[in-house]
Structure 1
Amino acid sequence: MSKWTIGVIGGSGLYEIDGLENAESLTVETPWGTPSDTLMKGQIGEVELIFLPRHGKGHRLTPTTVPYRANIDALKRLGCTDILSISACGSLKEAYAPGDFVMIDQLIDRTFAREKTFFGPGMVAHVSMADPICPRLSQLAGDAALAAGATVHRGGTYLTMEGPQFSSRAESHLYRQWGCDVIGMTNAPEAKLAREAELPYATIAMVTDYDCWREEEEGVTVANVLEVMAANTSKAKTAIQTLADNLQGIPRTTSPLGTETCLDYALITAPEARDPAVLAKLDAVAGRVL
């Protein structure tokens, strides 16, 4: 591969990106339903960007009701080579202050009410999630965030909770004991589905609050989050533009994790036992191997 086509999934507060040339709005239907919103496709120089607001414009969708499968399918169907997630999060670590950006490298999934796989009865597959984040894409995005003026922490474990409620103090303390660094409500389903779709995935986790583990402070509220979010969103938009600028003239190579071919070793259902109806739904995400 030589061309970068980066799918950008915008989280809370990020509902558009700036600087796109030849921008066009696309409506995509998938076998998994309708994505969160229309997708915006354009270029910054030689780099193609496809933007999708995770919660829909106006923040219509809860973390549980985001159509994760439709979103990832649509980005794959439109030719994305990589996915960059922009996500608001709470900090579980004193050193990660509101306003900081964390380039996470690990995930813990505590969600329980979501569809997290494209596969199932009739076509079973097991992909590795040992290393859920693409280190190459994370490094590039972190460099861009740093250039945008953000305080950037490299590495960290993101715990994905179901939500939409924030944590109890007991939960927040428990997650700190587990060694988690930040907490959010969206990234684990996305990362798993991106891996099944053979798309390298990375996250810029934007800290908005300290969750509720600091006993001397009030717990996190939407008012706290919105106060920090505006500044975070401005830096995130600049980081996306800077990332595209930095990639000009740099050919895209495959992820060091081998994500683009991970399904070569993941399919377990014998060819004669595969359900044609299930295979038809997998045309975009797994068409390369099916």
Structure 2
Amino acid sequence: MAETVIGVIGGSGVYEIAGLEEAEWRRVDTPWGAPSDEILVGRLEGVTMAFLPRHGRGHVHSPTSVPYRANIDAMKRLGVTDIVSVSACGSFREEMAPGDFVVVDQFIDRTFAREKSFFGEGFVAHVSVAHPTCARLGAAVKAAAEAEGIRVHDGGTYLAMEGPQFSTIAESRMYRDVWGADVIGMTNMPEAKLAREAEICYVTVAMVTDYDSWHEDHGTVDITEIIATLTGNADKARRLVRRLPGLLGGAREACAHGCDRALEHAVLTAPDKRDPALVAKLDAVAGRIL
């Protein structure tokens, strides 16, 4: 069995985790540049945890400028086995109200200005993201939320938009009524795809802050209301995260869903045709198969 190392990527409003023992902020260098910030590494109930504020402390990165590849690579270098992504989002469903949490199990990726893969020319790989989140990890997150009395929805489709502007009413209605999305955000793609390429189990906890712009009774998104809801959600998120070590345990078996073996049959480029420079950059992400 391997050691469980829980990685938490905190979204808007979640910039720290209290209670970590032996906690220290670590700088992690990657071939893909610097991560969003240093990473807070410590132990909670005997389990190692690594926390990364996605937007950086002080919220300096926009959704498009977040260095997603560097963030996931850094987590891999720290030995992270399971990533819990905590993200603010808007809701397309009346029953998914502000203050609720949604354990996302599907994505629609509408981003277009971001690097979405560690692989490319000279080293080609295609991983499956048919099931882009880890069901085992999702079940643990749901249990943690319920134990803290947080209203949580099991399953939902996350529409990832480029941003930084919020949706028009026409877009919001299309995403809801035509495409069938449940929540909308700007940051979980390509994060989820990159985690799969790095063979790390991944799940998204979407924290609802508003009803986007489709809802007739709520009108346009009000940033002041979002910030107020964010404050309450951030406290819930910290409580949820503190439950995870007890639920996941310190010893970890192979993922039953194969998240940790996603590259097993994904690489197509013949060994003698691989770009040495790209191979070198993939030392952490694809080290298991190289």
TM-score tier by shorter-chain length is over 0.9
Looking at structure 2, the residues matched to 236 and 244 of structure 1 have their Cα atoms a distance apart, in angstroms, of 14
Aligned residues: 289
Q: Which residue of 2 aligns with 1:261?
A: 261
Q: Which residue of 2 aligns with 1:99?
A: 99
**Could you say what secondary structure the match of 1:226 adopts?**
helix
**Could you say what secondary structure the match of 2:3 adopts?**
coil
How far residue 36 of structure 1 moved from its aligned partner, in angstroms, is 0.2
* 1:2 corresponds to 2:17: no
Percent of pairs with identical residues: 59
In the superposition, the TM-score normalised over structure 1's length comes to 0.98
Q: Which residue of 1 aligns with 2:63?
A: 63
Structure 1 runs of 4+ with >3 Å offset: none
Looking at structure 1, the residues matched to 212 and 124 of structure 2 have their Cα atoms a distance apart, in angstroms, of 38
Partner deviation per Cα, 1:19-62 (whole Å, 9 max, x = no partner)? 10111110011000000001000001221100000000011000
How far residue 188 of structure 1 moved from its aligned partner, in angstroms, is 2.0
Structure 2 unaligned segments of length 5 or more: list them: none
Looking at structure 2, the residues matched to 221 and 126 of structure 1 have their Cα atoms a distance apart, in angstroms, of 40
* 1:51 corresponds to 2:51: yes
Looking at structure 1, the residues matched to 279 and 138 of structure 2 have their Cα atoms a distance apart, in angstroms, of 32
How far residue 149 of structure 1 moved from its aligned partner, in angstroms, is 2.0
Work out whether residues 135 and 256 of structure 1, in 8 Å CA contact, stay in contact via their aligned partners in 2.
no
Q: Which residue of 1 aligns with 2:112?
A: 112
How far residue 152 of structure 1 moved from its aligned partner, in angstroms, is 0.5
Looking at structure 2, the residues matched to 253 and 223 of structure 1 have their Cα atoms a distance apart, in angstroms, of 44
Work out whether residues 149 and 235 of structure 1, in 8 Å CA contact, stay in contact via their aligned partners in 2.
no
Looking at structure 2, the residues matched to 25 and 165 of structure 1 have their Cα atoms a distance apart, in angstroms, of 32
After TM superposition, list the pairs within 5 Å mapping 1:31-180 onto structure 2: 31-177=31-177, 178-180=179-181
How far residue 254 of structure 1 moved from its aligned partner, in angstroms, is 2.2
In the superposition, the TM-score normalised over structure 2's length comes to 0.98
Work out whether residues 134 and 256 of structure 1, in 8 Å CA contact, stay in contact via their aligned partners in 2.
no
Partner deviation per Cα, 1:213-261 (whole Å, 9 max, x = no partner)? 012332112212101011110010000001123334x631222220111
Q: Which residue of 1 aligns with 2:282?
A: 282
Instruction: Tell me whether 132-141 or 257-266 shows the greater mean CA deviation.
Output: 257-266
**Pairwise CA RMSD of aligned residues?**
1.0
Work out whether residues 211 and 218 of structure 2, in 8 Å CA contact, stay in contact via their aligned partners in 1.
no
Structure 1 unaligned segments of length 5 or more: list them: none
Looking at structure 1, the residues matched to 77 and 217 of structure 2 have their Cα atoms a distance apart, in angstroms, of 49
